[in-house]
């Protein structure tokens, strides 16, 4: 693996870099391709608008985000919704109106139905939810995803009120990745032709670094 990146807690001063990273990380994700109609002109604009609105609402609600920095470049990002602050973004009328104006009625309706179905799979109790998590495609398959997830688990392990972490994906290449890191498949939903998996990790323990010889 290349030199480890630096983990940094991000604020909204990183929103521009975060928008670019998540756009590249999600534009080829099968679930988003269905929700935002990749076959129709304007798909890239709809993805950019959706990422922008999700990030803007996340930071406006003062929710945490962990960034993976290589020098001053943001190469990985995890948005976190803690159990004490878990506000349903889709309940914000301002967010809904901005989505209608940018992504359109049909795509916004698809996203709302998808979000509701995912929420319906979540186990009872208090836990962290990851609305968006990704590594820039240029830096994937270099174990940066492992570093980001370990940092995320360490961050969540320090919260005594949380019983675990929830994430969902419809990308087949990530299923083994999450399972390898201790996630259990707790639900599946059908998003058009895509099977979306909802994963749960019981409260992770802080990773213990091995002492160097």
Average of pLDDT values for 175-192? 94
pLDDT range class, residue 105, cuts 50, 70, 90: very high
pLDDT for position 198: 96
Question: What is the CB neighbour count within 10 angstroms for residue 27?
Answer: 18
d(CA 69, CA 66): 10
Asked whether the beta carbons of 67 and 10 are under 8 A apart, the reply is yes
Report in angstroms the alpha-carbon separations of 177 from 47, 70, 79. 24, 22, 18
pLDDT digits 0-9 by tens, 44-53? 999 999 999 9
Cα separation, 79 vs 49, in Å, equals: 17
Is residue 191 within 8 Å of 112, Cβ to Cβ? no
Q: What's the rounded mean pLDDT across residues 25-29?
A: 94
Q: Which domains are assigned to the chain? A: 6-202 (3.40.630.30)
Q: Is 158 strand, coil or helix?
A: coil
d(CA 202, CA 156): 11
d(CA 188, CA 168) in angstroms, rounded, equals: 9
């Amino acid at each position: 693996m290349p030199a480890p990146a630096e983990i940094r807690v991000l604020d909204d001063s990183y929103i521009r870099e975060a928008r670019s990273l998540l756009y590249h990380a999600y534009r080829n994700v099968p679930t988003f391709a269905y929700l935002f109609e990749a076959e129709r002109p304007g798909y890239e604009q709809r993805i950019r608008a959706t990422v922008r609105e999700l990030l803007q609402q996340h930071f406006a609600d003062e929710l945490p985000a962990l960034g993976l920095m290589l020098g001053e470049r943001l190469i990985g990002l995890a948005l976190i919704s803690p159990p004490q602050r878990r506000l349903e973004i889709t309940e914000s009328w301002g967010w809904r109106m901005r989505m209608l104006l940018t992504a359109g009625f049909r795509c916004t309706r698809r996203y709302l139905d998808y979000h509701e179905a995912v929420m319906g799979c979540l186990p009872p109790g208090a836990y962290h939810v990851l609305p968006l998590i990704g590594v820039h495609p240029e830096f994937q398959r270099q174990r940066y995803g492992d570093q980001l997830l370990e940092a995320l688990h360490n961050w969540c392990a320090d919260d005594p009120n949380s019983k675990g972490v929830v994430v969902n994906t419809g990308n087949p290449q990530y299923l083994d990745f999450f399972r390898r890191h201790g996630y259990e498949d707790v639900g599946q939903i059908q998003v058009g032709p895509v099977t979306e998996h909802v994963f749960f990790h019981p409260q992770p323990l802080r990773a213990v670094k091995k002492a160097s010889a």
